[in-house]
Amino acid sequence: MPHTRDIIALPTLDLSLLDGTAAQRQGFLDDLRHAARDVGFFYLTGHGIDSVLLQHVQDHARQFFALPDSEKAAVGMINSPHFRGYNRAASEITRGKPDLREQFDLGAEREVLATDENSPLWARLQGPNQWPQTLPTLKPLLLQWQQAMTGMSLRLLQAFAQSLALGQEAFDPLYGDKPNEHIKLMRYPGQASDESNQGVGAHKDSGFLSFLLQDQQAGLQVEIEEGRWIDALPRANTLVVNIGELLELATNGYLRATVHRVLSPAEGRERLSIAFFLGAQLDAVVPLYPLPTALLREARGPASDPANPLFRDVGWNYLKGRLRSHPDVAQRYYADALIPNALSA
């Protein structure tokens, strides 16, 4: 394991090596395990997602953010108990401070679950997305990208299982036929030098795997060790991948969920990024996986925030994060969840 002082840039992994020779495949699995443990972030090439599709997704994201404010407000997240839709800049909260980005959140396009007084609160999270009427091509395009990203990310997750000597299908039961996919389109407007530069505050992602498609504007930073940040500079046709807290929890801290942030661009510039988050089914419970003894010796235990503890119950964990990040939606649709101890009931 390299000392964190020696890490000055994110490692790069080529997913296409899974289809190479036995030696190339094993080399990829070894590199994947080391990158995920030592850094928790890496660049992914050879992912198989068509570069034309990636460009179309970015173009459509720009078209969405260029819509009049009234049209974006028509699909505002405040209209959705499923936390889907548009938020203007400074609407989402990270570590108690507003994030200076506007964003559009989407999930898997599914029917609302039938619920009653005995249903868990997280059951309200499943439901349809909101789509802008004046940009009809956005829905089919993003659903196409979501399908492509889901297939690729599940393949990568199987590679993680193999790299940990768990067997290729070890994580499959957590996903079944309803993985908790989440897409976020994000635009970071430029900020003056005397204003806050919190594009998004320092945090860890709460799910399993996160993938980020960046434009050419820098801003993403990764905390390699406490107080030392490195830039995850944009690279064409390359996705930035990072480990979420639930995968850290599942491996008793062998894999690393790393703190990261986004700094706002300078005044007169903007940053566009598009995230895809792969999460388990809402009704899944994340077990502690039996790692080989050699790996267990290197497991550090999950580093959960005492003020925001992780739950192994996926639905409760996801709901907790949504309630903290979007207090307006929480107050409108989940007032009963804001009662002390409601989430642990």
> How far is 182 from 205, CA to CA, in rounded Å?
12
For residue 302, the 8-state DSSP code is -
Beta bridge partners of 313: 285
Chain centroid to CA 326: how far?
16
pLDDT digits (tens, 9 = 90+) for 251-303: 999 999 999 999 999 999 999 999 999 989 999 999 999 999 999 888 887 76
> How far is 331 from 316, CA to CA, in rounded Å?
17
pLDDT at 214: 97
> How far is 58 from 182, CA to CA, in rounded Å?
16
pLDDT digits (tens, 9 = 90+) for 155-166: 999 999 999 999
* CATH number for region 4-344: 2.60.120.330
> How far is 231 from 74, CA to CA, in rounded Å?
36
Cβ atoms of 193 and 266 within 8 Å: the answer is yes
User: Which 3 state secondary structure label does DSSP give 330?
Assistant: helix
How many other CB atoms are there within 10 angstroms of residue 68's CB atom?
Answer: 9
Chain centroid to CA 113: how far?
23
- The structure tokens 């307006």 sit at 328
pLDDT at 300: 83
How many other CB atoms are there within 10 angstroms of residue 292's CB atom?
Answer: 10
Q: List, for the chain, all residue ranges whose pLDDT scores fall below the cut of 70.
A: 1-5, 303-310, 339-345
